[in-house]
Structure 1
Amino acid sequence: MAADGLFPLPAPPRRQLAPGAVHVPGWLDPPRQRQLAAACRDWALGPVPARAAVLPGGARMSVRTVCLGWHWQPYRYSRTADDAGGGRVAELPDWLADLGRAALADAWQDHAAARDYRPDTALINFYQGSARMGMHQDKDERSDQPVVSFSIGDSCLFRFGNPDTRNRPYTDVELASGDVFVFGGPSRFCYHGVPKTIPGTAPDDSGHQAGRINITLRRTGLAD
């Protein structure tokens, strides 16, 4: 029993899909979801607006992306958005990095790892309609610190695989608004993707009703 005579709240449920890969449903409460959704919409307006990146082969991604700290374009980072007008991207705010450390601490139950986590970029993806994300590895960074992912709005089918191939074995899990997914350690370079979103599943109090927002925090290692 807690010191004030009340029973402590139970810890959020955690599901480990693989070593270092942990899903924490409902980690973001509705007020924090609304705060993040509003911030993401502001960031999408500039100084570098959200855009659908063009892959080296000429195909355009179906998600729209805006970046903080460092600008990502396939498959490199820069301080300026060389494929979207050349402007310098907005800084990654300290409060968002702090949120990533808190999520990592709860997901991994490892406060030392969380204290050492220093994300320096955020990729914010907007999924609308039939937007999806093919199986890929996050390997453009020069750091193996974990990726911390927040979901807001519509749910999605998230596919988490293995570090060797885009194909099986993989695990499908539904990520809903407010969920956190962390992958690092042995799972840092596992293939993963979003085969589909599930329209109309955004909670009324999430602050985002037009598709799905996904925020991924990571450390590029480029300034080390």
Structure 2
Amino acid sequence: MASLLPRPRSVLAPGAVHVPEWLGPERRRALVAACRAWATGPVPMRHTRLPRGGVMSVQTVCVGWHWQPYRYSRTAQDVNGAPVAPFPSWLRDLGREAVAAAYEDPEVARAYTPDVALINFYEGAATMGMHQDKDERSSAPVVSLSVGDTCVFRLGNTETRTRPYRDVELESGDLLVFGGPSRFAYHGVTALRPGSGDPADGLARGRLNVTLRMTGLPG
């Protein structure tokens, strides 16, 4: 549920900006509906298997490009061989709007042309270990949108998975953008707050996280 106390916009680190409650109820519901459609295919949502045999606790589906550790492709050879769902123009526009809201710089926003979305679904004890988003050829910012249960997001440094880091709770509707000096910071999700979401958002349980990125890949 929404916090009772005001949650102001904050700079977590240089280039990393948290904008609470950026997505209103209508936009949250629309994003959930879109994610439900993508989750059914052509490449379905699944638990990604890592190269060393481990399986991620979150479930993932991609739009625009298919991500598998640690590369992008247009088809999901590790799932069912199908081509990934196309990246819609409205999602690109949403990404530009998000960058504008975070950085308050229209020129930076106009240059932002995301072409891939990774949608992660967290439920129960699902977490995300500390990692860098570095499979892209572009160093453009990453846009992160949250809907559903609150999570504890950990933003670290660019050198190690350990301290210094900062923890922040991301609630439904929150926007987080990290770029510039924080673009390749280690980050992860250490915990979920089950039951903290609002069913009116269209998500009965769990947390949806939509991350938009520029791959820098041709085509």
Range of TM-score over shorter length: over 0.9
- 1:22 Cα shift? 0.2
Partner of 1:160: 155
Percent identity among equivalent residues?
A: 64
Residue 170 of structure 1 aligns with an amino acid whose one-letter code is Y
Matched, 1:60 2:55: yes
Deviation at 1:68, TM superposition (A): 0.4
Alpha carbons 2:199, 2:205 under 8 Å: kept: no
Q: CA shift at 1:110, angstroms?
A: 0.9
Structure with the higher fraction of residues in strand conformation: 2
Kindly indicate whether residue 205 of structure 2 is the aligned counterpart of residue 210 of structure 1: yes
Aligned to 2:139: 144
Question: Is the Cα–Cα contact under 8 Å of residues 119 and 209 in structure 2 kept in the other structure?
Answer: yes
Question: What TM-score do you get using the length of structure 2 for normalisation?
Answer: 0.95
Partner Cα separation in structure 2 for residue 123 and residue 20 of structure 1:
21
CA RMSD of aligned residues (A): 1.0
Amino acid at match of 2:47: A
Q: Which deviations, in whole Å up to 9, do the C-alpha atoms of 1:116-166 show, x marking residues without a partner?
A: 001000000011111100000000000000000000000000000000000
Divergent runs of 4+, >2 A: none
Partner of 1:93: 88
Match of 1:172 in 2: 167
Deviation of the 1:195 alpha carbon: 0.6
Report the TM-score when normalising by structure 1: 0.93
Q: Does 1:103 align with 2:98?
A: yes
Which residue identity lines up with residue 17 of structure 1 in the other structure?
L
Aligned runs of 1:1-224 on 2, under 5 Å? 13-223=8-218
- CA deviation digits over 1:165-191, x for unaligned, max 9? 000000000000000000001100000
The one-letter code of the counterpart of 1:84 is V
SS of the counterpart of 1:63?
strand
How far the C-alpha of 1:14 sits from its partner, in A, is 1.4
Distance in 2 (CA, whole Å) between partners of 1:183 and 1:151 is 14
Q: Is the 8 A contact 1:154 1:209 kept in 2?
A: no
Unaligned runs of 5+ in 2: 1-6
Structure number with greater Rg is 1
Tell me the secondary structure at the aligned position of residue 34 of structure 2: helix
